[in-house]
């Protein structure tokens, strides 16, 4: 063979590699940890087809975009180190809703896996795994031969070598194709085999390698691709995952199902050829359709981020991984919130005359389309049952529910009305909806008005809230003092500054949406406010509880009598006021109350409301404030979304009507006049009004002795 006498540079490198590998052939396979588990060393090896390590001629191993960046020193390259783990986040029903960590991984013992799971990887990646000492000499020589004769070279890296490179990228960078790197990797692999059993190496490999999308290890891959743990994988699913080490992007079963299925079937055939499964099992696996699931965190990404922030504030380093967080999320309600917001916002975008980019058609690179948020809480405990911080987490992970600062508009008015009721202004008091000119400190005049441009004249306080008249709210705030309104807002849990100006009475001061929603909890609970709560408890990897929520006693922000009266007034908002759209989705049997909100130029639209066991809020608007479109309001855009959410939360449940505190006084009134109803009052105008103790007007009091003072009936 004359070419051996004058080898050119490429062949010299190949021969050097061959000689280096050959020098390793005599090394013993024994390890100090024992021979490990798996097929006996005498099991006949099955020749592997060419292309890749074993299999079809797919893409070369050029790395996976989900692979981690090179970390700080991981130690000696032969050592098996504990890889970063995910922190797992569970909903209130125990279902997994998300993961937190630099690498999404949950290590599992190999003994917990069906035998065909590790067997699938051995069959396609390293079928002589149980015969070699970390370096497959036969495979290396075969790869060199392929290069010499010009054939596409088969892969020669063993599972042990792959583990070395994936676990210690700071020492052995597998993107480096030099001979020096390969020799260092081989030396480390042989050393690893001397210190660990085959079972330990295979377990570490299955828990270490990337599977695309930022998912590491076979258990995370099983959850995200198939919606189950690795211990529940079928043979066909295990073979699908075994296809991915070759190239996770190329054989991605979500994006490229045809490629993935072809590679899966190859893995199954190799397993049968190597007598790791029966021919019948192989045939059945190949008949199975390839079915993946949507990423499990798709609907709860904003909530998982909130959990991360809450845990970090409590000093639990969940980003480091390895924790189990048990959270407050209600998965079915979360799904309802996501669906209601998606459908409601899309309905706005489809309205005639809508002139902004839509979610479906916007230019990539920024969330310049209509945004929205939904927050739903248990008013008694503050447990957040659903949270949607935007319409598309991938476009914009900014959580508008927690961090946006938006004007609440008329959604702030219940705070004003509560301050007024507490100041002994009864709900039947007459206030005129009229033009105002209020001097400000800067010498200008503040002239509040309404979107309809009208002033409706005298009306009751109750009617003014139901019809959301701005001038009445401003007058009430000035009568009780804007400082009193601000103080009540802060007692209700609003932490953002509320400007001491008349315009704050109609929601001109920005608020955090989740705080505004939580504030409404005081009306649902008759006076107490529970701060938002995301986490119930946190456990470490050993199952030990490291943090438990110990909710403080809810703070009393309102007198229970005041809270009930304002709640009853807000029922009118839904039944006959600006939010009648709610009843198109929410059955009349479910008691509900709330308030719409619309800011100047229709920039922000809100609805915040509650049922006996739920307080929730919906907002729509643009990140850069601008008019949504002419003629819209919170009642027409946000209220229908809220109604669908509330209906889903309480579907099939029965509720007793809200019962007034026994200390309240009441009287039947005429809705049009605010005076006592009599026999001439039409039924649709007759209603029960409630008064704080001692504030029932004398004219409305029933005095039994007055009947006798007027003499016997029919005396004349």
Please give the Cα distance from 329 to 359 (Å, whole number): 26
Known catalytic membership, residue 232: no
DSSP 547-583: EE--PPPPEE-S-HHHHHHHHHHHHHHHHHSTTGGGG
**In whole angstroms, what separates CA 40 from the centre of its chain?**
48
Over its C-alpha atoms, the chain yields an Rg (Å, rounded) of: 35
Q: HSE (CB half, 13 Å, CA atoms) of 33?
A: 13
Residue with tokens 């809200």: 658
Please give the Cα distance from 300 to 422 (Å, whole number): 40
Active-site hit among 103, 125, 185, 689:
125
Please give the Cα distance from 599 to 504 (Å, whole number): 12
- 3-state DSSP of 398-419: CCHHHHCCECCHHHHHHHHHHH
Strands 324-327, 87-90: pairing is parallel
Quote the tokens at residue 712: 């016997």
Nearest CA to 671 out of 685, 660, 659, 657 is that of 685
Known catalytic membership, residue 410: yes
Q: HSE (CB half, 13 Å, CA atoms) of 275?
A: 8
Active-site hit among 410, 468, 503, 504:
410
Cα→Cα distances 264→45, 123, 144, 238, 482, Å: 21, 12, 27, 9, 70
Contacts of 178 (CB under 8 A, 6+ apart): none
**CB-based contact 252:243 (threshold 8 Å):** no
Please give the Cα distance from 552 to 530 (Å, whole number): 8
**CB-based contact 416:410 (threshold 8 Å):** no
Determine the Cα angle at 549 with ends 546 and 552, to 5°. Answer: 145
Q: Give catalytic residue positions.
A: 125, 410
């Amino acid at each position: 063979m004359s070419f051996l006498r004058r080898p050119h540079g490429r062949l010299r490198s190949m021969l050097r590699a061959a000689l280096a590998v050959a020098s390793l052939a005599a090394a013993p396979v024994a390890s100090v940890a024992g021979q490990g588990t798996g097929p006996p060393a005498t099991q006949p090896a099955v020749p592997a087809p060419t292309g890749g390590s074993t299999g079809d001629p797919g893409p070369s191993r050029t790395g996976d975009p989900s692979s981690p960046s090179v970390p700080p020193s991981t130690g000696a390259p032969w050592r098996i180190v504990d890889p970063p783990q995910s922190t797992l986040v569970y909903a209130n029903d125990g279902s997994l809703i998300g993961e937190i960590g630099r690498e999404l991984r949950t290590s599992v013992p190999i003994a917990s896996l069906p035998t065909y799971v590790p067997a699938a990887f051995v069959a396609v990646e390293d079928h002589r795994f149980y015969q070699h000492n970390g370096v497959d000499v036969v495979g290396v020589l075969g790869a060199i031969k392929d290069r010499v004769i010009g054939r596409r070279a088969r892969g020669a890296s063993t599972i042990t070598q792959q583990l070395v490179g994936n676990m210690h990228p700071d020492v052995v960078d597998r993107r480096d194709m030099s001979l020096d790197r390969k020799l260092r990797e081989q030396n480390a692999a042989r050393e690893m085999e001397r210190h660990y059993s085959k079972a330990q190496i295979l377990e570490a490999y299955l828990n270490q390698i990337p599977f695309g999308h930022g998912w590491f290890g076979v258990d995370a891959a099983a959850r995200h691709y198939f919606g189950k743990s690795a211990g529940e994988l079928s043979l066909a699913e295990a073979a699908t995952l075994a296809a991915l080490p070759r190239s996770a992007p190329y054989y991605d079963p979500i994006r490229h199902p045809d490629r993935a299925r072809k590679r899966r079937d190859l893995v199954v055939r190799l397993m049968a050829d190597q007598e790791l499964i029966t021919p019948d099992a192989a045939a059945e696996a190949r008949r199975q359709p390839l079915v993946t699931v949507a990423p499990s965190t798709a609907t709860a990404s904003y909530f998982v981020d909130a959990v991360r922030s809450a845990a970090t504030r409590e000093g639990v380093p969940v980003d480091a991984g390895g924790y189990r967080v048990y959270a407050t999320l209600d998965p079915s309600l979360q799904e309802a919130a996501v669906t209601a917001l998606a459908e409601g916002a899309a309905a706005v975008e489809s309205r005639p005359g809508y002139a902004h980019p839509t979610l479906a058609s916007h230019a990539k690179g920024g969330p310049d389309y209509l945004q929205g948020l939904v927050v739903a809480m248990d008013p008694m405990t503050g447990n957040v049952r659903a949270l949607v911080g935007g319409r598309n987490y991938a476009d914009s992970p900014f959580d508008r529910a927690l961090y946006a600062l938006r004007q609440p508009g008329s959604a702030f008015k219940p705070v004003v009305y509560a301050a007024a009721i507490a100041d002994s202004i009864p709900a039947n008091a007459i206030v005129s909806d009229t033009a105002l000119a209020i001097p400000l400190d800067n010498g200008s005049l503040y002239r509040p008005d309404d979107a309809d441009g009208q002033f409706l004249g005298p009306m009751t306080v109750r009617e003014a809230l139901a019809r959301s008249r701005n001038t009445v709210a401003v007058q009430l705030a000035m009568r009780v003092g804007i400082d009193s309104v601000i103080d009540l807002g802060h007692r209700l849990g609003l932490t953002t500054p509320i400007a001491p100006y008349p315009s704050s009475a109609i929601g001109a001061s920005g608020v955090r949406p989740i705080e505004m929603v939580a504030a409404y909890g005081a009306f649902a609970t008759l006076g107490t406010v529970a701060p938002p709560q995301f986490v119930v408890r946190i456990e470490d990897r050993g199952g030990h509880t490291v943090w438990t929520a110990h909710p403080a006693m809810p703070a009393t922000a309102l007198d229970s009598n005041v809270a009930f009266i304002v709640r009853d007034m807000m029922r009118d908002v839904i039944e006959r006021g600006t939010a009648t759209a709610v009843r198109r989705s929410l059955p009349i049997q479910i008691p509900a109350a709330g308030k719409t909100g619309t800011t100047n130029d229709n920039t922000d639209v809100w609805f915040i409301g509650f049922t006996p066991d739920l307080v929730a809020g919906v907002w729509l608007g643009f990140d850069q404030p601008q008019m949504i479109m002419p003629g819209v309001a919170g009642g027409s855009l946000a209220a229908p979304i809220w109604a669908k959410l509330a209906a889903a939360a309480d579907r099939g449940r029965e509720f007793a009507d809200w019962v007034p505190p026994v200390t309240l006084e009441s009287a039947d009134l005429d809705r049009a006049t605010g005076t006592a109803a009599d026999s001439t009052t039409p039924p649709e105008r007759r209603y029960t009004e409630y008064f704080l103790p001692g504030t029932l007007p004398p004219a409305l009091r029933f005095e039994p002795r007055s009947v006798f003072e007027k003499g016997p009936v029919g005396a004349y």
